[in-house]
Every structure is written in structure tokens, then in C-alpha cells.
Amino acid sequence: MDMNEQILKIVMEFTDEGIHVIDSNGVTLIYNKAMEELEGMKGSEVVGKKILDVFPSLTENTSTLCKVLKTKQPIIEQYQTYINKTGNKITSVNTTIPILNNEKIMGAVEISKNFTKVKELYDNAISMSNHLKNCIRKDGDFTFDSMIGCSPSFIKCVDIAKAAAKSNSTVLIYGDTGTGKEVFSRAIHNESNRANKPFIPINCAALPEGLLEGILFGTTKGGFTGAIDRPGLFEQADGGTLLLDEINSMSILLQAKLLRVLQEGVIRRVGGIKDIPVDVRIIATTNEEPYTAIKNGTMRKDLYYRLSVININIPPLRERKEDIPEFIKTFIKTYNDEFSKDVWDISNEVLDAFLSYNWPGNVREMKNYIEGSMNMVDGHILKAEHFTPQVQETLFKKNLSSGVFDLGYDFKTSIDEYINNIEKKIIDDALRSSDGNITKAANTLKIKRQTLQYKIKKYEIK
Ligand SMILES: Nc1ncnc2c1ncn2[C@@H]1O[C@H](COP(=O)(O)OP(=O)(O)OP(=O)(O)O)[C@@H](O)[C@H]1O
Ligand SMILES: [Mg+2]
């Protein structure tokens, strides 16, 4: 091997950039290691073969190498995202240059930079800046006065929240989606002596773990490649309130770090060595029942005890139907103002439907339905016809499986036999949806594994 050949071989092997060289017939001459990794192919599968035979998804027009053979023009820094042969999503930047000898095409060289990691970082940075923009959004600065609800269970929540506003203790709010967890958090903050300091909500479920840690605690230059000195939300919320939404989605490891912060009142930036004291009031929310979350391993028990100094359990809307008329009135008023309408009331038919529906999306769902219908109404009464067909389908068709269980008891079989049949059917369903995994099915049914095994035997379930 002469010196030039050796140099070429070393460069090919050790460079980070993928290199693919073809001759004038489109046959591969060189396919280096970095290219193998990028495209998920072996050099032996590619070298000596025609490029279009090896990459059947490419054509004369889509392959940049083939294009350059034809046009004799270089293609500079073309971005490309594709799924490679091993199923990974790759983003690369390719430069493809013709090899010419007195105008005659001899072949082409393609150099590919793997941009996948950079693209991920970039996408993450964008989603982070969008997220921070959302935090600044001051939509509806809620106070206890602007909260709607008169049912006893709701008033109880408000009383606890008002007491919470007078202290600095952490609060854990549990409630289904759309029940008003953020509304409560904002009201507590706005009524507290932190009201003129920041209120920063962060959704723990929306960000990948690595990013979330940096966002919460900040980063230090040199902490990891590309890291900059940046304060996290704890520092930015200093003196104010941090709302940790969907805390049960935070990784267990990060929950441990959070616990330490809560206990010691200091944070440490990612990659940093300095403890920075912070004065932040934490409100955390979960849409999974806390004890279930602990049992399922999505919430650390010690963190739960530390967070739930004050507990607020917001009942779902279907359990406080007394509040529905007041919500209707208020939302109609809101959208009268916003859309310049003059609606006075809803029809009896709509009111009945609202009162009997079980509202899985709670207050948010209702607000959305009213907003939609207020767009369509012209007169003074909101009627069924003003709702979209989908909403009508949901609201006005009696749906027996939504909360009301149709027993269908025929008064002929004995009640014991009848109930056994129901139990058998429920167990059968649970086993089916756990693919026959008895432990899983027992968990779903909230009974002991042994109890389930006994029942399976008793009912001769296969
Ligand atoms: N008591 C209330 N008074 C007035 N508006 C309410 C009340 N409860 C909920 N809302 C309204 O319902 C919508 C949903 O409330 P919020 O965002 O607080 O719910 P959430 O429990 O945080 O839901 P998710 O779990 O989906 O984040 C908001 O538009 C809010 O203004
Ligand atoms: Mg929320």
C-alpha cells in the first residue's frame, strides 16, 4: 500500500463523516465506517454493487449521487431526514460532488454529516422556548371570587385552599382532567403573600426527563456538551409559586431529587457544585389517585408525604351536579361578551342532557361545548341544534354504559346465581385485557392474586 492509499484508508476509517463514492456507472467504490453507521448498512453489502440495486427505495432522480452523475453539478449541504435500514430516524446534511476529468464524469463523492443529535437538541430547545412562552401567558388570573361552584364538596375544597393561601406549605391537588386543578393553584397563589411574585406552571408529563431536570434546576456551563449557564424554574420562581403539573409523570429518579430540594430548600444546577438556596412554594397536581400512584410505582411514597402537607381532592363534575347551572350561566356570559351575542338561557332539553351526562372531561369539556354552540346561536336560547353533530351524539343519546350499569335482571334466576354470573363476566374481561396475566388482572380488580385464583377455579374460567 503506498502512502496516499494509506492516508486515504486512515481518513476513511476514522472520520466522523460518512463517505460514499461511486463510479460513472453508479457502482460503489468506497463506503466508509461512518456511512455504515449512518445508513445501517454493511460496506460488504454496498461496495461493488450498483447503488440503485442496493437502495431500492432510491431512483435516478431521488438519489443525490445519481443526480450528480447526470448533472455534473455539486449539491451542497442538503438536509435529509429518513428512516435507515435498522429503523432509526436519521437527519443528515449531505454534500455531493462530481469527479470530473476534462468535463467527463468519472464518478461522484457524497459526504454525510450525522445531524440527528443536533436536530434533537434543536427540537428540544424549540419546545422548551414554546413551553416558557406558555408559562408567561396570563390567562384568567383566578381568585377565589372568580371560582364557580356552590356544592358542599366543592366549597370544602375552597375552604382548604383558602387556608393554604395563608401558609407556605406544599399542596397536593388531586382531580380528574379538567376539574380545575390549575384554577385552584392560581387562586391559592393570587391570594397568598406571594401574589406579586411569579407563578410558574410546568407540566412534568410534557418534557423528557433529561430536559425537565435542566429546566427545573438549571444548567451549568460544562455540565454536559453544549450546556450553558442558565437558571432553572426554581430560581426563576424565587419568592413565588411553582406548579408541578402531573407530578406522577415525573421519573422516580427526578422525584428523589425534588424531594431533596423540598427538604433542604436548596437546588443544585445540573453539572454544578454549588447549593443555591431557593424560596419557592410548591403546588403539585396528579390526575391519578395518590395511593394508586404509589402502588403503581409512579409516585414515591416519601415524596407523597412531603407534598401532601395540604391535600385538595377536587371531585369530578358528575359528583357535584348542583354546580352545573352556575357553570352554564357563567360560560354563557363569558361568550356573550366575547362573541357579542345575546343569549339568555339554554333550552330545557339541553339542561336535562347536561344534568344527566357524566362529563368525563369535566368543566373543560363543558366549557368547550358551550363555546362551540355559542358560535352557532343567533337568538336568545341555546338549543340542541346549536351543538355540533358529534356533541349532540355524545350529549343527547342515552348511553347506558356511561356510568349507569344496565343490570337487566330478569327476576327468574336466583340473585346469587345472577351475581355470580356478573362476577364471572367481570373476571373474564379482566383476564382477557391482561392477556391472561393473573397478577395484572388481580391488580385491575383490586383483589389478592390468591383470591382471583380461587375465583377462577370456582367459575371454571379458562
Ligand atoms: N371552579 C371553576 N370555576 C371556573 N372555571 C373553572 C372551574 N373549574 C374549572 N374551570 C375551567 O375549566 C377549565 C379547566 O380547568 P383547569 O385547567 O384548571 O383543569 P385541570 O384540572 O388543570 O385539568 P388538566 O388535568 O387537564 O390539566 C379551565 O378553562 C377553567 O377555567
Ligand atoms: Mg392542568
The DSSP-derived string for 242-304 is EEEETGGGS-HHHHHHHHHHHHHSEE--BT----EE---EEEEEESS-HHHHHHTTSS-HHHH
pLDDT of residue 404: 38
In this structure, which ligand is nearest to the CA of 244? 2
pLDDT in tens, 414-439: 888 888 888 998 998 888 888 889 99
Q: How many angstroms separate the CA atoms of 83 and 91, rounded?
A: 9
Question: What span, in angstroms and rounded, lies between the C-alpha atoms of 192 and 153?
Answer: 23
Name the residue at shortest CA distance from atom 16 of ligand 1: 180
* Set of cell numbers at residue 462: 379458562
Query: Which strand (E) or helix (H) includes residue 307?
Result: helix 301-307
Which part of the chain has CATH 3.40.50.300?
120-315
Ion ligand 2, residues whose Cβ is below 5 A away: 181-182
User: Are the beta carbons of 13 and 33 closer than 8 angstroms?
Assistant: yes
Ligand 1 atom at minimal distance to the Cα of residue 183:
18
- The SS3 of residue 99 is strand
- Is the distance from the beta carbon of residue 364 to the nearest atom of ligand 1 less than 6 Å? yes
Please give the span between the terminal C-alpha atoms of the chain, in angstroms, as a whole number.
71
The CATH code belonging to domain 320-396 is 1.10.8.60
Q: Select from 134, 173, 182 the residue to mutate for testing ligand 1; criterion: most ligand atoms less than 8 Å from CB.
A: 182
To the question of domain 3-114 being in CATH 3.30.450.20, the answer is yes
Q: Is 173 in the pocket of ligand 1 (CB under 6 A)?
A: no
- CA dist 247 and 262 (Å) reads 14
- Round to whole Å and give the CA distance between 392 and 373: 11
pLDDT of residue 230: 82
Which segments of the chain belong to CATH 3.30.450.20? 3-114
Closest atom, ligand 1, to C-alpha of 147: 3
What is the pLDDT at residue 401?
41
Nearest CA-CA partner of 404 in 323, 318, 313: 318
Number of CB atoms found within 10 A of residue 48's CB: 12
Q: Whose CA is nearest to atom 10 of ligand 1?
A: 180
Q: Please report, for the chain, how many H helices and E strands are present, in that order.
A: 20, 16
Give CATH for domain 415-458: 1.10.10
Would you say the CB of residue 109 lies under 6 angstroms from ligand 1? no
Atom of ligand 1 lying closest to residue 184 CA: 18
Q: How far is the CA of 181 from the centre of ligand 1 (A)?
A: 6
- Is-contact 89 117, C-beta < 8 A? no
SS3 401: coil
CA of 245 to the centre of ligand 2 (A): 6
d(CA 201, ligand 1 centre) in Å: 14
Spans of the chain below 50 pLDDT = 136-137, 139, 399-405
User: Does the beta carbon of 315 lie inside 6 Å of ligand 1?
Assistant: no
Question: What is the per-residue pLDDT across 338-358, written as a single tens digit (0 to 9) for each?
Answer: 999 999 999 999 999 999 999
Kindly report, as residue ranges, where domains of CATH 1.10.8.60 are found in the chain: 320-396
Q: Are 204 and 253 in contact (CB under 8 A)?
A: no
The CATH number of 120-315 is 3.40.50.300
State which ligand 1 atom lies nearest to the alpha carbon of 314.
21
**Shortest-distance atom of ligand 1 to CA 173:** 21
Q: Is the CB of 158 under 6 A from ligand 1?
A: no
In ligand 1, which atom is closest to the CA atom of 179?
21
Beta carbons within 8 Å of 188's beta carbon, 6+ residues apart:
161, 164, 165, 171, 241, 283
pLDDT given for residue 400 in this prediction: 38
Residue 387 has a pLDDT of: 94
Closest ligand, as measured to the CA of 312: 1
**What pLDDT does 137 receive?**
41
pLDDT value, residue 399: 44
Q: Are strands 171-174 and 281-286 parallel, antiparallel or unpaired?
A: parallel
With a 6 Å cutoff on the Cβ, whether 360 touches ligand 1 is no
Separation of CA 351 and ligand 2 centre (Å) = 27
H-state helical runs in 2-115: 3-14, 33-39, 43-46, 51-54, 64-71
Please identify, by atom number, the ligand 1 atom nearest to the C-alpha of residue 154: 1
Please state whether beta strands 75-83 and 89-101 pair in parallel, antiparallel, or not at all (unpaired). antiparallel
Q: What is the rounded (10 degree) CA torsion for 305, 307, 312, 313?
A: -60
